[in-house]
């Protein structure tokens, strides 16, 4: 079942094209990541999905509903995090959840959400007294309080310390396990790689690629490197003759083999045939950062986690 369908979305602000041509679909139950450089059109895309912006052309379907024409239907099914600036400092956690749940026809049980999000101890705490991590978890709870089938979560862990980030990731997996489809906009490549079933890379208002994290990495992994020591003397030609190998360097007993395709299995096979054991074998691991650079030609932004504990 398709949860979201975006078709040829186009949106300009004056003469500036923010989203040129964006299309993707998200299946129910997926965590779908959106990554891209600053100004790529990510926020405009998700705000169009949420009905907060009206596209100039193209279409958006949220479980079959149009976010602009069927605003009320979409509001009941799609959860978004409220703007932080919209909170009165004096509101307490439980009051905020109770208030927001009153806006929906079939809200989730906010007491259960408090527990799920690890906010039980703070139910009577005022907003201004919450830590960064607690505020972030409250905003996730508020995105879920309407009992949505889809949640849009934007910059989920910006400003959180490493432990709070990991806790939030586990939480996202629990939310997904409850059947909620998640659209995740993030600047953090590790977060996108860890959480997303599939990722859209948006660049210059267009979709540069949609794939699983492993699929995106594989696209950029044209070049690979394998490092090792050998258990006994080996003739360099054993490796230079392999079709996947482009370069063999040997320095201070360490071999560095560069190549493409199935480099590791080619090298391992050749060593086995020569009855040589590779010691300290290391394959240089590519990650989503490499894929991002390969697809957009730019290094991913890395928002700094906060100095203090976020939690």
Which of 9, 26, 31, 41 touches ligand ATP (CB under 6 A)? 41
Would you count residue 295 as binding ligand ATP (CB under 6 A)? no
- For 17-51, give one letter per residue: b (16+ CB within 10 A) or e: bbbbebebebeeebbbbbbbbeebbbbbbbbbbbb
Q: How far apart are CA 173 and CA 233, in angstroms?
A: 50
Site for ligand ATP (CB under 6 A): how many residues? 11
Q: State the Cα torsion 222-23-172-147 to the nearest 10°.
A: -170
CB of 9 vs ligand ATP, minimal distance in Å: 11
Provide the CA 58 distance to its chain's centre, in angstroms: 24
CB burial class (10 A; 0-12, 13-18, 19+) of residue 110? Answer: buried
CB of 153 vs ligand ATP, minimal distance in Å: 14
Q: How far apart are CA 127 and CA 164, in angstroms?
A: 18
Would you count residue 103 as binding ligand ATP (CB under 6 A)? no
Which of 4, 22, 31, 44 touches ligand ATP (CB under 6 A)? 44
Which of 2, 39, 272, 284 touches ligand ATP (CB under 6 A)? 39
Provide the CA 199 distance to its chain's centre, in angstroms: 7
Residue nearer to ligand ATP on the CB measure, 39 or 243: 39
Segment interacting with ligand ATP (CB under 6 A) among 13-21, 90-98, 124-132, 141-149: 13-21
DSSP code for 126: B
Would you count residue 18 as binding ligand ATP (CB under 6 A)? yes
Would you count residue 36 as binding ligand ATP (CB under 6 A)? yes
CB of 237 vs ligand ATP, minimal distance in Å: 50
Residue nearer to ligand ATP on the CB measure, 68 or 234: 68
Q: Can you read off the two tokens belonging to residue 256? A: 């560095």
Which of 13, 88, 249, 308 touches ligand ATP (CB under 6 A)? 13
Which of 22, 30, 35, 42 touches ligand ATP (CB under 6 A)? 42
Which of 1, 15, 38, 179 touches ligand ATP (CB under 6 A)? 38
CB of 135 vs ligand ATP, minimal distance in Å: 19
Pairing of strands 278-283, 224-230: antiparallel
Q: How far apart are CA 95 and CA 100, in angstroms?
A: 9
Which of 22, 40, 117, 257 touches ligand ATP (CB under 6 A)? 40
Residue nearer to ligand ATP on the CB measure, 13 or 103: 13
Would you count residue 85 as binding ligand ATP (CB under 6 A)? no
Contacts with 305 (C-beta within 8 Å, 6 or more apart), sequence order: 157, 158, 159, 160, 161, 162, 165
Q: Can you read off the two tokens belonging to residue 293? A: 């650079």
Residue nearer to ligand ATP on the CB measure, 40 or 62: 40
Report whether 248 contacts 178 (CB < 8 A): no
Q: How far apart are CA 186 and CA 228, in angstroms?
A: 36
Segment interacting with ligand ATP (CB under 6 A) among 31-39, 141-149, 261-269, 289-297: 31-39
Please report, as ranges, the residues that interact with ligand ATP according to CB under 6 A. 13, 16, 18, 36, 38-44
């Amino acid at each position: 079942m398709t949860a979201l369908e975006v078709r040829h979305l186009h949106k300009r602000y004056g003469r500036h094209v923010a989203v040129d041509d964006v299309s993707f679909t998200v299946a129910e139950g997926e965590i779908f990541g959106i990554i891209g450089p600053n100004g790529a059109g990510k926020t405009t895309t998700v705000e169009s999905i949420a009905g907060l912006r009206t596209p100039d052309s193209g279409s958006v379907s949220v479980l079959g509903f149009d976010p602009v024409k069927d605003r009320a239907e979409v509001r009941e099914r799609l959860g978004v995090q409220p703007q932080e600036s919209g909170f009165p400092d004096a509101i307490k956690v439980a009051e905020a959840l109770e208030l927001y749940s009153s806006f929906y026809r079939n809200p989730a049980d906010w007491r259960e959400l408090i527990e799920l999000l690890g906010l039980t101890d703070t139910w009577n705490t005022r907003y201004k007294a919450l830590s960064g991590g607690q505020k972030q978890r409250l905003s996730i709870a508020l995105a879920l309080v309407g009992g949505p089938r889809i949640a849009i979560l934007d910059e989920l862990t910006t400003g959180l310390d490493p432990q709070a980030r990991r806790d939030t990731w586990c939480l996202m997996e629990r939310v997904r396990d409850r059947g909620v489809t998640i659209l995740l906009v993030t600047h953090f490549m590790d977060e996108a790689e860890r959480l997303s079933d599939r990722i859209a890379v948006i660049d210059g208002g267009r979709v540069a690629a949609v794939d699983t994290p492993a699929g995106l990495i594989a696209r950029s992994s044209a070049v690979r490197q394998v490092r090792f020591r050998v258990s006994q003397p080996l003739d360099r030609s054993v490796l230079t003759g392999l079709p996947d190998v482009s370069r063999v360097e040997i320095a201070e007993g360490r071999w560095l083999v560069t190549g493409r395709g199935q480099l590791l299995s080619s090298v391992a096979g050749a060593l086995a045939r020569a009855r040589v054991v590779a010691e300290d074998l290391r394959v240089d691991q590519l990650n989503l950062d490499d894929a991002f650079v390969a697809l957009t030609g730019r290094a991913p932004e890395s928002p700094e986690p906060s100095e203090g504990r976020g939690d």
